[in-house]
Protein backbone atom coordinates (compact mmCIF):
# COMPACT_ATOMS: atom_id res chain seq x y z
CA UNK A 1 0.00 0.00 0.00
CA UNK A 2 1.29 3.45 -0.90
CA UNK A 3 2.12 5.92 1.84
CA UNK A 4 -0.93 7.91 2.85
CA UNK A 5 -1.25 11.45 4.07
CA UNK A 6 -4.77 11.46 5.40
CA UNK A 7 -3.73 13.78 8.23
CA UNK A 8 -3.12 16.67 5.84
CA UNK A 9 -5.81 15.72 3.31
CA UNK A 10 -8.56 15.50 5.91
CA UNK A 11 -7.45 18.71 7.67
CA UNK A 12 -7.67 20.54 4.35
CA UNK A 13 -11.06 19.03 3.56
CA UNK A 14 -12.18 20.04 7.07
CA UNK A 15 -11.20 23.64 6.37
CA UNK A 16 -13.12 23.56 3.08
CA UNK A 17 -16.23 22.14 4.74
CA UNK A 18 -15.97 24.55 7.68
CA UNK A 19 -15.86 27.48 5.23
CA UNK A 20 -19.08 26.12 3.69
CA UNK A 21 -20.62 25.62 7.16
CA UNK A 22 -20.95 21.84 6.64
CA UNK A 23 -20.40 19.68 9.71
CA UNK A 24 -22.46 16.57 8.91
CA UNK A 25 -21.40 14.80 5.74
CA UNK A 26 -20.36 11.64 3.96
CA UNK A 27 -16.89 11.51 2.44
CA UNK A 28 -15.74 8.83 0.00
CA UNK A 29 -12.14 8.26 -1.05
CA UNK A 30 -11.41 7.12 -4.58
CA UNK A 31 -8.06 6.45 -6.24
CA UNK A 32 -7.48 10.07 -7.25
CA UNK A 33 -10.19 12.08 -5.51
CA UNK A 34 -12.49 12.63 -2.58
CA UNK A 35 -16.22 13.23 -2.91
CA UNK A 36 -18.18 14.82 -0.09
CA UNK A 37 -21.97 14.92 0.24
CA UNK A 38 -23.39 17.31 2.83
CA UNK A 39 -25.52 20.39 3.16
CA UNK A 40 -24.79 23.55 5.13
CA UNK A 41 -25.90 23.47 8.76
CA UNK A 42 -29.16 25.12 9.64
CA UNK A 43 -28.84 28.37 11.58
CA UNK A 44 -31.29 29.67 14.15
CA UNK A 45 -31.65 33.37 13.28
CA UNK A 46 -33.64 34.59 10.29
CA UNK A 47 -30.61 36.35 8.76
CA UNK A 48 -28.48 33.26 9.17
CA UNK A 49 -31.22 31.08 7.71
CA UNK A 50 -31.38 33.38 4.69
CA UNK A 51 -27.60 33.09 4.20
CA UNK A 52 -27.88 29.30 4.55
CA UNK A 53 -30.66 29.19 1.97
CA UNK A 54 -28.60 31.28 -0.44
CA UNK A 55 -25.62 28.97 0.10
CA UNK A 56 -27.77 25.92 -0.68
CA UNK A 57 -29.10 27.63 -3.81
CA UNK A 58 -25.54 28.51 -4.92
CA UNK A 59 -23.87 25.24 -3.92
CA UNK A 60 -26.90 22.95 -3.93
CA UNK A 61 -26.57 19.58 -2.41
CA UNK A 62 -24.40 18.36 -5.26
CA UNK A 63 -21.44 16.36 -4.04
CA UNK A 64 -18.22 18.29 -3.67
CA UNK A 65 -15.48 16.56 -5.62
CA UNK A 66 -11.83 17.29 -4.86
CA UNK A 67 -9.01 15.76 -6.87
CA UNK A 68 -5.94 14.85 -4.81
CA UNK A 69 -4.03 17.59 -6.66
CA UNK A 70 -6.70 20.12 -5.59
CA UNK A 71 -6.43 18.98 -1.98
CA UNK A 72 -2.65 19.43 -2.13
CA UNK A 73 -2.99 22.97 -3.57
CA UNK A 74 -5.51 23.89 -0.85
CA UNK A 75 -3.20 22.42 1.78
CA UNK A 76 -0.24 24.49 0.55
CA UNK A 77 -2.36 27.64 0.53
CA UNK A 78 -3.53 26.88 4.08
CA UNK A 79 0.04 26.36 5.31
CA UNK A 80 1.06 29.70 3.77
CA UNK A 81 -1.73 31.51 5.67
CA UNK A 82 -1.20 29.78 8.99
CA UNK A 83 -0.56 32.32 11.73
CA UNK A 84 0.75 29.83 14.29
CA UNK A 85 2.76 27.17 12.49
CA UNK A 86 3.03 24.02 14.56
CA UNK A 87 0.09 24.93 16.77
CA UNK A 88 -3.23 23.18 17.03
CA UNK A 89 -6.07 25.20 18.43
CA UNK A 90 -9.03 23.26 19.71
CA UNK A 91 -10.16 19.70 19.20
CA UNK A 92 -13.77 20.64 18.38
CA UNK A 93 -12.94 22.47 15.16
CA UNK A 94 -13.74 20.36 12.12
CA UNK A 95 -10.23 20.64 10.60
CA UNK A 96 -8.65 19.40 13.85
CA UNK A 97 -11.14 16.56 14.26
CA UNK A 98 -10.47 15.40 10.72
CA UNK A 99 -6.71 15.89 11.08
CA UNK A 100 -6.80 13.68 14.18
CA UNK A 101 -8.81 10.99 12.40
CA UNK A 102 -6.40 11.23 9.45
CA UNK A 103 -3.43 10.74 11.77
CA UNK A 104 -5.17 7.69 13.25
CA UNK A 105 -5.61 6.24 9.75
CA UNK A 106 -2.00 7.04 8.80
CA UNK A 107 -0.51 5.51 11.96
CA UNK A 108 -2.67 2.40 11.61
CA UNK A 109 -1.77 2.16 7.91
CA UNK A 110 -5.45 1.93 6.99
CA UNK A 111 -6.71 2.82 3.52
CA UNK A 112 -9.75 5.09 3.85
CA UNK A 113 -12.83 4.04 1.90
CA UNK A 114 -15.54 6.16 3.48
CA UNK A 115 -16.08 8.47 6.43
CA UNK A 116 -19.53 9.45 7.69
CA UNK A 117 -19.48 12.34 10.13
CA UNK A 118 -22.50 13.09 12.26
CA UNK A 119 -22.94 15.61 15.08
CA UNK A 120 -21.14 13.57 17.78
CA UNK A 121 -20.05 10.37 16.07
CA UNK A 122 -18.23 9.02 13.07
CA UNK A 123 -18.28 5.84 11.02
CA UNK A 124 -15.04 4.89 9.30
CA UNK A 125 -14.88 2.32 6.51
CA UNK A 126 -11.35 1.32 5.65
CA UNK A 127 -9.12 -1.46 4.35
CA UNK A 128 -6.63 -2.73 6.91
CA UNK A 129 -3.01 -3.82 6.28
CA UNK A 130 -4.15 -7.35 5.42
CA UNK A 131 -6.61 -6.04 2.83
CA UNK A 132 -9.77 -6.69 4.86
CA UNK A 133 -12.58 -4.15 4.76
CA UNK A 134 -13.50 -2.94 8.25
CA UNK A 135 -16.12 -0.59 9.67
CA UNK A 136 -15.55 1.31 12.90
CA UNK A 137 -18.20 3.41 14.65
CA UNK A 138 -16.90 5.81 17.28
CA UNK A 139 -17.81 8.95 19.12
CA UNK A 140 -15.80 12.01 18.18
CA UNK A 141 -14.67 12.36 21.79
CA UNK A 142 -13.00 8.93 21.56
CA UNK A 143 -10.35 10.58 19.37
CA UNK A 144 -9.47 13.23 21.98
CA UNK A 145 -6.51 11.24 23.33
CA UNK A 146 -5.15 10.97 19.78
CA UNK A 147 -5.53 14.75 19.44
CA UNK A 148 -3.49 15.34 22.61
CA UNK A 149 -0.76 13.06 21.25
CA UNK A 150 -0.73 15.09 18.02
CA UNK A 151 -0.36 18.29 20.04
CA UNK A 152 2.60 16.83 21.94
CA UNK A 153 4.19 15.59 18.73
CA UNK A 154 3.85 19.02 17.09
CA UNK A 155 5.23 20.77 20.19
CA UNK A 156 8.47 18.80 19.89
CA UNK A 157 9.02 19.69 16.23
Q: What would the 3-class secondary structure string for the chain be?
A: CCCCCHHHHHHHHHHHHHHCCCCCEEEEECCCEEEEEECCCCCCCHHHHHHHHHHHHHHCCCCEEEEHHHHHHHHHHHHHHCCCCCCCCCCCCHHHHHHHHHHHHHHHCCEEEEEEECCCEEEEEEECCCCCEEEEEEEHHHHHHHHHHHHHHHHCC
At 17-67, the pLDDT tens digits run 999 999 999 999 999 999 999 988 876 555 555 555 555 555 556 889 999
pLDDT at 139 over 60: yes
Stated pTM of the model: 0.78
At 68-113, the pLDDT tens digits run 988 888 887 766 665 555 555 677 899 999 999 999 999 999 999 9
Q: Where are the domains of the chain?
A: 6-155
Amino acid sequence: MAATHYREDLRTIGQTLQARNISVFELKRFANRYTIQGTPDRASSLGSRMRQWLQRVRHGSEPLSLALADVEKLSQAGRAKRSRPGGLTEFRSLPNILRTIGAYLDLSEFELIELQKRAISITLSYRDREGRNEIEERTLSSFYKNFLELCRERAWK
